[in-house]
A and B are shown apart, each in its own frame.
Chain A
Amino acid sequence: MNKLLIIFFLLSSNFFIKSTYAETWTLPPSGVDIFGQTKTIKVSSKDTLLDIARQYDIGQAEILLANPNVDRWLPEDNDEVILPSRYIIPNVDRKGLVINLAEMRVYYFPETQNGNKPVVITHPVGIGRMDWITPLGTSKIIEKKKDPTWIPPKSLQLDRIANGEQPYPSIVPPGPTNPLGKHAMRLSIAGGSYLIHGTIKPFGVGMRVSAGCIRMYPEDIEALFNKIPVGTQVRVINEPIKLGWLFDSLFIELHPPLEEDQEKYQDYERKVIAFINDFLASQGDKRMQDIEIDQEVLKQAIHEKSGIPVLVSLPDIENTLAINP
């Protein structure tokens, strides 16, 4: 029975897409934490994985993790490339913007308009590089600016000088050389010094390349900019391990930890097991007792850390027998 439900959901999730490469999805019903669709396409050697990632609204790290055996710069004709566009919704309030640094992705849960179905919008993001991490916590959007002017932070200027590079001008006006691109939204956190913005270097989306700001593909920030009101809550989390339900089946989505968290996640397997136990405990005794984890599948998922949700619970034989005697 569970299997049938899963198959039905995975097939019907196609219909949640509004357009071929849409990033707006109907929010799944209660009891389902997964949305989106993983697809496989054949590519041409004229493309790089970077081009494909942008075309399908996927981040650079995401597409590399999902396709470890495809050459990033020179895929062969007819190479099969996995598009990892299925996600487990982060286990926090489904409100405003949720940015998960470990998966380098933002989720937006807009207020539901009268009569409309609730939706979730997701895009890849670039985040702060090592030692420039975006601060965790809850804040809100305090300003939206089209064609923003950029005042480079002192720390970035000093870094460039230390690396023998030319510092930026003290003020960068709007235009093709402005790293913020055409849209910027200011966060209330840390005195308003962090932004969600566009870029003139789109291939850096889905990578750790910024000075702590959140970088988005120009087309994504433009779409989001028009939807997000000032005052929208922004929650920044750092969760390389995500768990979610598809009815009675448990899925896990694993990402490599950020560089600075390597020590904390040195024993990744133990972390995952503890995370699963805590998660199940928080769901109540019944779920804790009913769920049996497929250890082989879990080990493989831990080894791969592909960022793709993987079914890790074994079928509930007793319930299946009770339904289908």
Chain B
Amino acid sequence: MKVNTQHSIRMLTLAVVSSAFIGLTGCATTAQFEELQTKINAVASDASSAKADAAAANSKASEALNIADEANKRSLATEERLGRAFNKSMYK
């Protein structure tokens, strides 16, 4: 009987400690989650902003590339024109 009583007390104590611990853990997770959510939102916002910046940079790089490509084409065309004019000037 004494053994059974001691066993019951031990079980009860374990149950109270466990539930307190679980409760404590549950409270802490919620707070951290909210903080984490805030951080995630901030990071997402930063990422979105960075993405927009990257897209703008990409667009500018693409534009610069097009300009360079156009300049290169014009340079080659000028070289071709110059070459042809030179060739023709050498005709008899």
Contacts and interface: CB of A to CB of B under 8 A. Distances in A.
A209 B82 contact: no
A90 interface: no
B91 A129 contact: yes
Contacts of A268: none
Q: Interface residues of B: mostly helix, strand, loop or mixed?
A: helix
A73 B92 contact: no
Interface residues of A, number: 15
Contacts of A211: 92
Contacts of B92: 156, 179, 209-211, 213
A163 to B, nearest CB: 9
Interface in A43-99: 72-73
A207 interface: yes
B6 interface: no
B31 interface: no
Contact of B91 (A72, A73, A209): A209
Interface string B48-92: 000000000000000000000000000000000011001101111
B82 A201 contact: no
A207 B87 contact: yes
Contact of A73 (B82, B87, B89, B90): B82
Chain B contact patch, size range: under 10
Contacts of B90: 126, 201, 203-204, 207, 209
Contacts of A156: 92
Contacts of A208: 87
Instruction: Give the one of B82, B89, B90, B92 with max A CB within 10 A.
Output: B92
Nearest to A168: B92
A119 B14 CA distance: 114
B87 to A, nearest CB: 6
Nearest to B90: A204
A213 B82 CA distance: 24
Contacts of A129: 91
Contacts of A201: 89-90
Nearest to B83: A72
A208 B91 CA distance: 8
Interface in A115-130: 126, 129
Interface string A186-218: 000000000000000101100111110100000
A156 B92 CA distance: 9
A210 B86 CA distance: 14
Nearest to A202: B90
Nearest to B86: A203
Most chain A C-beta atoms within 10 Å of own C-beta, residue among B82, B83, B87: B87
Interface of B: 82-83, 86-87, 89-92
Please provide the 6 A-B residue pairs with the shortest distance between their CB atoms, ordered closest to farther.
A204-B90, A209-B90, A179-B92, A201-B90, A209-B91, A211-B92
Given A203-B90, A209-B90, 16 more contacts: A72-B83, A129-B91, A156-B92, A179-B92, A201-B90, A203-B86, A204-B90, A204-B91, A207-B87, A207-B90, A208-B87, A209-B87, A209-B91, A209-B92, A210-B92, A211-B92
10 contacts: A73-B82, A129-B91, A156-B92, A201-B90, A203-B86, A204-B90, A209-B87, A209-B92, A210-B92, A211-B92
